[in-house]
Amino acid sequence: MEKLMLPSHKVELLSIPEQIANSIKQMIIEGKIKRGDTLPSQLSLAKYFGVSRPTMKEAFTYLVDSRVIEPYNSQLGGYRVSDFLPEDVSNNIHELIMLSLHSKTITHPDIFELRKMIEIPSAGIAALKRTDKDLILLESCLSDIRNKELSAEDMLKIDATVHFLLAKCTHNPLTEAIMNAIIMTYQKNSPNILEEEKSYILIGITDVIEAIIEKDEGKAKKAMEEHLYYSRTYLQIKRLIS
């Protein structure tokens, strides 16, 4: 019987500090350590994990860099579990999307399909949940859009602002984090836009804003669907989406 020959495969092993950092993350996920909790000293944790203090210090560096923990008393060298903010989640999702795009495990059409699944219902939710404070920002965006002297770059900035604002109007931190990550990805991958092509950028966006201002759920969803249709058409022209 012929012996099966497996292809060579390099396994990347985690260092001891990385393993300890992951163990502490797992304790947080399991609720054994909670947000705002003060961590034991590095010396105590070094004894707990059976490692040297420099190794423990390196593990703490990993946790600080990933914003899992933060220093809270510089004199005593104390650390506590960080508050996990929507922007931190956004950055992590954005990095994952970018890595996946580069490795071709996901494509631009995949991201666009996700946008439709999230943004169309979110437009309706935003119409129902927008506050008076949101209203001020929405009306400010409308005012900017009606400026006749907008360049293509100006339009792109306004478009991103509107989508960020729409996510905020849902008052759902997870929706906000995911949408922000997607918009950041588009900003990193936006094509070169000629001035004569800029009319595509904001088509339908005023209808979205007005529907949210009017608190019209159905109209907001329909307007967002149409706006995304024109966005897709433009991206097809620029060969970002096939």
Q: How confident is the model at residue 242, as a pLDDT?
A: 43
pLDDT of 195 reads 64
> Residue 1 pLDDT > 90, yes or no?
no
Highest mean pLDDT pick, 31-35, 98-102, 110-114, 123-127? 123-127
pLDDT of residue 86: 63
- The mean predicted confidence, pLDDT, of the chain is 83
Residue 114, H or E segment: helix 108-129
Contact 182, 111 (CB under 8 A): yes
Q: Best-predicted range by mean pLDDT among 3-7, 9-13, 227-231?
A: 227-231
Q: What is the mean pLDDT of residues 55-69?
A: 89
- How does DSSP assign 31-66, residue by residue? TSS-TTPBPPPHHHHHHHHT--HHHHHHHHHHHHHT
Return the higher-pLDDT residue of 220 and 66.
220
Higher pLDDT, 96 or 207: 207
Tokens read off for 61: 């560096």
For residue 35, the model assigns a pLDDT of 83
Kindly compute the dihedral angle of the four CA atoms of residues 27, 31, 35, 40, in this order, to the nearest 10 degrees.
-40
Share of the chain above pLDDT 90, in %: 33
Mean pLDDT value of segment 32-36: 86
**Residue 205, pLDDT above cutoff 70:** yes
Q: Quick one: which of 166, 172, 115, 175 has its CA closest to 138?
A: 166
Q: Which pLDDT band holds residue 2 (cuts at 50, 70, 90)? A: low
Residue 122: closest CA among 167, 178, 177: 167
Q: What is the mean pLDDT of residues 197-209?
A: 83
Please choose, from the candidates 34, 51, 35, 33, the residue with its C-alpha nearest in 3D space to the C-alpha of residue 43: 51
The alpha carbon dihedral of 21, 22, 27, 31 has a sign of positive
Residue type, 233: T
Q: Is the pLDDT higher at 200 or at 94?
A: 94
pLDDT (tens digit per residue) in 136-165: 999 998 888 887 678 878 888 888 888 989
Average pLDDT over residues 76-80: 79
